Amino acid sequence: MSFDLGRIVDEVCFLEGQPVSERPLAAIVGEYDNGPTLSKAIKNIDAEKDFNTVFIADHSEYIDVKGKKVRVCHNCQIFSQVQELYLFIHGLGGQLEQFEPLLRLVNAMGQRFLAIDLPGFGKSDEWDEYPMLKVVEAVEEIVIKFHAAKIAVIGHSMGCYLASHFYQTYHRVNPINQIVFLSPPKRVLYELQRNVIQWGIWVGYKLPWLFDFYRSWFDQSKGLASSGIRDFFSNDTISTSQTYRKLWQFHNNVQIKSRAIFGYLSGWKPIEWEKLKHILDTTPTKLVVMCGDRDVVTPIHAAQEIVEYLPEHVEKILITIPNCGHHVCFDAPTETCRLFLYHVLNKQV
């Protein structure tokens, strides 16, 4: 990688000076004791400043979608409408912050980005129901406000399903030239079709407090050893910045709304893969799939299955991120940004 591009990657992954609280990372990390009390301490009002960054705060606003507030993060006001728009869609229980190093990278390269807190997650309003195609419709309603000459759609985990539906539904009205899957789920989630799973989802949606109780007392009480951290991070590096990213993710995890999780599972819509293949046959679109080699949530074989299923003549590539779990942007930010720079932003290294 050239010196300049290498420096840019280092800068967008550097977190010192980013917290809105203006405190050093070491002071923030030292403030929160890992263990049973962490989930309570990390919800206080000061924690909101510790785990909100200047970059995200400076680029965020709320957009009205059918009477509900949706938080977005973008830099579109300072760039031309003829430039490519990089649209980021997070996964189940996620939030736009999880793309933070990539957003800073796209911005540093002088390109437009738009990231969305999906309804019910992050700082967006809740909905009564979450049919997947209605969520995709809301994404399109936001996207059309930003007038893009061409679009690259980036999804993480469940966001890969939403990105696929967005492409299938709106490829004729939006010039989508790239699809990027980060840590994609299996091509077909047969588990969601089982009666016992459907029953469990219905119970969770109607009685979300049961899941909240389990999360609070039996999972989040483990602090950074809880499932939302253990299964998302796999990097063995123990640095101040890496610990900060884990605390940041934990801070977001404790605010996830259980009802929204089950609402999305209830409103899940399988991808029509044959239809997707037909569109890719006739529409020049590049597919980039990136997955951590230690991902236990969406293992690498799920990504391989997707790439192998699609036609040979489709421009497609599968990239394995070494020493990385499910949360590619937080677990291996430097390598993820380096690979994104080359394979998605098309900058030579």
Average pLDDT (46-60) is: 95
pLDDT in tens, 110-147: 999 999 999 999 999 999 999 999 999 999 999 999 98
Domain holding 29: CATH number?
A: 3.40.50.1820
CB environment 310-328: b (16+ within 10 A), e (fewer): beeeeebebbebeebbbbb
pLDDT in tens, 209-252: 999 999 999 999 999 999 999 999 997 778 999 999 999 999 99
pLDDT at 346: 87
CA distance 104 to 339: 15
Given 157, 183, 234, 258, the catalytic residue: 157
Q: Report the candidate in 122, 120, 118, 116 with the shortest Cα–Cα distance to residue 103.
A: 116
Average pLDDT, the chain: 94
Whether residue 40 is contained in a domain is answered as: yes
Q: Is the model's pTM score more than 0.75?
A: yes
Contact predicate 248/330, CB 8 Å = yes
In terms of Cβ atoms closer than 10 Å to its own Cβ (0-12, 13-18, 19+), residue 130 is buried
Active site residue 239: no
Whether residue 203 is contained in a domain is answered as: yes
Average pLDDT (157-177) is: 95
Whether residue 261 is contained in a domain is answered as: yes
Residue 18 structural domain: 3-343
pLDDT at 44: 86
pLDDT at 200: 95
Instruction: Lowest mean pLDDT of 43-47, 142-146, 272-276, name the range.
Output: 43-47
Which bin fits 110, alpha (ψ -120 to 50), beta or left (φ > 0)?
left
Enclosing H/E stretch for 319 = strand 316-321
Contact predicate 91/158, CB 8 Å = yes
pLDDT at 2: 53
pLDDT in tens, 275-326: 999 999 888 899 999 999 999 999 999 999 999 999 888 899 999 999 999 9
Average pLDDT (258-267) is: 97
Whether residue 348 is contained in a domain is answered as: no
Whether residue 315 is contained in a domain is answered as: yes
Number of domains in the chain: 1
Confidence of residue 38 (pLDDT cuts 50, 70, 90): very high
Contact predicate 273/165, CB 8 Å = no
Whether residue 349 is contained in a domain is answered as: no
pLDDT at 228: 93
